[in-house]
């Protein structure tokens, strides 16, 4: 149909496609020895104390458009809120849900996986969600809409809430 956007005074609108994120569960780690690299150079892991994870992903994706960027999301095992749409209590988790298309992925996740996401994580699996787009800028800047939307993948991994420790306080093996 026809409509005026963003208002009657300004009738021009820019329409772009938004990819729908798709989730898949891996019950065991994939064999990466048989996989071929899609680009030259070794894979890199970036950690930043100055920027949030979404900002780092956005910066990495802006540097090289062909670069494949993934965010690893660690969640506590046994907490059903981490795989539900109502997981907006934590500010950092809210950033991922409110600034990206990951909220839609959480909503569709049980249908895409054909199982309960929390049970898949409890069984030792990991959930790989592709084509998550960053739609908005940082909350501190008023969460402006992004003209160039960076794409990333989100890898969700369950970890023990209280890891076992030995007598010396180190992680037990």
Pairing relation of β-strands 126-133 and 151-159?
Answer: antiparallel
Query: What's the whole-number average pLDDT of the chain?
Result: 81
What domains appear along the chain, each with residue ranges and CATH number?
22-28+48-159 (3.40.220.10)
Closest alpha carbon to 152 in 70, 38, 62: 70
| pTM over the 0.75 mark | yes
Distance CA 127, CA 136 (A): 24
pLDDT band, residue 1 (cuts 50/70/90): very low
Which helix H or strand E contains 72, and what residues bound it?
A: strand 70-76
Sequence-separated (6 or more) residues with CB below 8 Å from residue 138: 52, 54, 55, 99
Lowest mean per-residue pLDDT among 17-31, 77-91, 151-165: 77-91
């Amino acid at each position: 149909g026809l409509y005026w956007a963003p208002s009657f005074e300004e009738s021009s609108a820019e329409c772009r496609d938004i990819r729908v994120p798709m989730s898949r569960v891996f019950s065991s780690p994939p064999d990466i020895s048989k996989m071929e690299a899609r680009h030259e150079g070794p894979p890199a892991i970036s950690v930043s104390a100055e920027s949030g994870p979404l900002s780092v992903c956005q910066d990495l994706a802006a540097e090289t458009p062909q670069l494949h960027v993934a965010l690893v999301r660690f969640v506590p095992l046994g907490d059903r809120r981490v795989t539900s749409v109502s997981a907006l209590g934590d500010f950092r988790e809210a950033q991922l849900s409110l600034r990206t298309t990951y909220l839609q992925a959480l909503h569709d996740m049980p249908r895409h996986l054909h199982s309960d996401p929390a049970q898949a994580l409890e069984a030792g699996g990991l959930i790989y969600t592709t084509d998550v787009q960053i739609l908005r800028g940082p909350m501190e800047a008023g969460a402006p809409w992004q003209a160039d939307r960076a794409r990333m993948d989100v890898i969700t991994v369950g970890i023990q809430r209280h890891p076992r420790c030995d007598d010396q306080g180190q992680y037990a093996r």
